[in-house]
Structure 1
Amino acid sequence: MGFIKTIDDYIQLGKEKGFEYVLHTIPKNTHKSSYQGWKCSKGYLFNSCYKSIKKGTKCAVCSGKSKKTLSDYKKHAISKNLKYIFNYIPKSVKEMDGNTPKVIYHRMHTTHCTAVANAV
């Protein structure tokens, strides 16, 4: 059985791992971790329990594991000189190419609809 962790333990662990513990209390049922109590060096808030942080859990946004939004797909398309042609994320996005979902885009410089697969 482990020791009961104090707020100082959380703050110290955050410093060791490059995070900031931003809550002033320790949430009950911390194993379920429903509170965004950790802040990464880039300012993103994220959920995690003490044990997971100690084992090396990282910020989901910085580690690329956060769920992508429609806005993310549109911005990515623009960065590749493409245009995202849907107003939704198609179910086919769940098909994986390695660890990266594939998405269909429309090339901005063409006059007709040429769909291409492009990794996000």
Structure 2
Amino acid sequence: MKINENDWPDISAELKDKKPDIVFVEITSPTKEYLIEYLQSEGNNAVFMGVGGSFDVISGNIPRAPLWVQRANLEWLFRVMQEPRRLFKRYFVGNWKFIAAIIKEKHHGKAEENE
């Protein structure tokens, strides 16, 4: 089921009615973060956890990487190879932008300390 912003008020109303303690949100980033923020701002007092594709992996819908790949901390690369169209941009463009922003911020902070 695809969720869009028009569905958010209905989701919020259902959560208010059912009053769950924990809500797992398994939709893509950054939509899940925006949805969680919206639901909290609407007064939903559950603990929200963005779980990404965890349930797909646990249920066996998406295979886990071989154990040696997991031990080498390369499961992310295994996932990119499984779904290159969906994940390539996230890992090879988005992550580099994030790393560059951190380096810039760290460098900027050191420049201010030296002034």
**Band the TM-score falls in, shorter-chain normalisation:** under 0.3
More relative contact order, 1 or 2 (CA 8 Å, 6+ apart): 2
Structure 1 length normalisation: TM-score? Answer: 0.23
Structure 2 length normalisation: TM-score? Answer: 0.24
Q: Relative to total residues, which structure has the larger strand share, 1 or 2?
A: 1
- When Rg is computed on C-alpha atoms for both structures, the one with the higher figure is 1
Q: Relative to total residues, which structure has the larger helix share, 1 or 2?
A: 2
